[in-house]
Amino acid sequence: MKKLAVLAALLAVFLFTCAAAEKISVYNWGDYIDQETIEMFEKETGIEVEYMVYETNEDMYAKIANGKSSYDVIFPSDYMVERMIRENLLQKINWDNIPNVVNIDPRFMHQAYDPESQYSVPYTWGTMGILYNKSMVEEIPTSWKTLQDERYSMNMLMLNSPRDTIGIALIMAGHSLNATDAAALEEAKQLLIEQKPLVLAYVVDEVKDKMIAGEAAVALVWSGDATFSMAENDELDYVVPEEGSNIFFDAICIPANAKNVSGAEKFIDFLCRADVAAKNYEYVGYAIPNKAAIEVLGADEYNASPVNNPPQEVLDKCEVFKYLGEETKLYDQVWTEIISEY
């Protein structure tokens, strides 16, 4: 009987502590935060973080949209932020509770996916550009025209990804990379069909290995892959062409059905703090919009990387991908027509 009483008491204490500890649940991309910062947050605030990861925006979207699971903080990319705002899945952020938002460089706020900056804080950003091997090119490829240059015939790699590759072709043809009208897409298609004999391969993840091994002179890549490859091979360098490119963001948002909004706000504010953002940059490796953190890291060292610091006039010409909904199918159709050409 005594034992039972002790057990009951223990159980009560256990339940009590469970109920007392404030909790937030965070849903992030895999390997996209320095786990130490989570421990720091838990220690500082006493809020327990339940941390879960996803692999694609669509995985995350499906979980939030079916309404069965509730998270307090999520990290959707630009076009997904736009879609989730449209579908009423995000809530407006109360900036009064996120004082550290002053650390965010204003040029990265008010992007097309959230024009009023009401729903999202940028977490990381990147671009698409040309990764090139200095020993294999004659001059720095500063224009997308490089990807039509006969000199690099069978010496260039393109992305096997409809939206990205067609988007760049649209820029080359002088259109917006969000164009959906048939004429613009037809132009992009013709351009890519003409380019096809010059292309060594259409790759995705393999691009890193191939560029590191010196398989090709130039490649269309995402800046994240460029950072990785450049760390492995000193001959590689990265440039965002002068015509402009795609800029992409992963943002921090609070879902509409979040249970602990104040906890979420505290966590977001914490992530915007200079030392925390700097720590996460060192772990994740993507460019960050946090200017206070860049000071902590040493601005010169940070800006030395072409991945982190494309010229402002080029950046001004960069566009985010918009959510196209049904029109994504057009891109797929055009892409299949390009690759099935033989």
Partner 1 sequence: MKHKNLMSLPFTLWAVIFIVLPLCLIVWYGVTLEIPVEYTQITLEDGSTAYKLEDGTIQTQEPWQKKAVISFSNFKRMVEPTYLKLLIRSLRVALLTTLICLLLGYPVALILTGKDFKHPSLWMMLIILPMWMNFLLRTYSWMSILENSGILNSWIASLREAIPAFDQFLSDRGVGNKIIFLYNENAVILGMVYNYLSFMIMPIYTVIEKIDHSLLEAAADLGASPSKSFLRVTLPYSLPGVLEGVTMVFVPAVTTFVISQLMGGGKVPLIGDVIQNQFGKSSDWHFGASLSLLVMVVVLAFMRGLHSIDKEEEVQKEVRIF
Q: Which residues bind partner 1 (CB under 8 A)?
A: 58, 83, 86-88, 154, 160-163, 196, 199-203, 206, 210, 213-216, 325-326, 328-329, 331-333, 335-337, 339-340, 342
Q: Both tokens of residue 3?
A: 């034992």
If phi > 0 it is left, if psi is from -120 to 50 it is alpha, else beta; for residue 31 that is left
| CB nearer partner 1, residue 44 or residue 337 | 337
| CB nearer partner 1, residue 166 or residue 179 | 166
Output the smallest distance, CB 232 to partner 1, in A: 14
In whole angstroms, give the CA distance from residue 229 to residue 132. 10
| CB nearer partner 1, residue 216 or residue 278 | 216
In whole angstroms, give the CA distance from residue 232 to residue 262. 42
In whole angstroms, give the CA distance from residue 328 to residue 117. 25
Could you tell me the CA-to-CA distances from 127 to 58, 224, 287, 322 in Å, in that order?
Answer: 21, 8, 9, 15
In whole angstroms, give the CA distance from residue 317 to residue 135. 29
Output the smallest distance, CB 312 to partner 1, in A: 31
How distant is the alpha carbon of residue 185 from its chain centre? 25
Could you tell me the CA-to-CA distances from 214 to 85, 133, 151, 273, 339 in Å, in that order?
Answer: 43, 7, 16, 40, 24
| CB nearer partner 1, residue 7 or residue 154 | 154
Q: Given the DSSP bridges, would you call strands 218-222 and 156-159 parallel, antiparallel or unpaired?
A: parallel
Find tokens 């649940």 and name the residue: 25
| CB nearer partner 1, residue 83 or residue 266 | 83
| CB nearer partner 1, residue 69 or residue 333 | 333
In whole angstroms, give the CA distance from residue 160 to residue 207. 10
Output the smallest distance, CB 141 to partner 1, in A: 19
Q: Given the DSSP bridges, would you call strands 236-239 and 199-203 parallel, antiparallel or unpaired?
A: unpaired
Output the smallest distance, CB 69 to partner 1, in A: 20
Output the smallest distance, CB 249 to partner 1, in A: 19
Looking at the DSSP bridge assignments, the partners of residue 201 are 157
| CB nearer partner 1, residue 151 or residue 329 | 329
SS3 31: coil
Output the smallest distance, CB 218 to partner 1, in A: 14
Output the smallest distance, CB 153 to partner 1, in A: 11
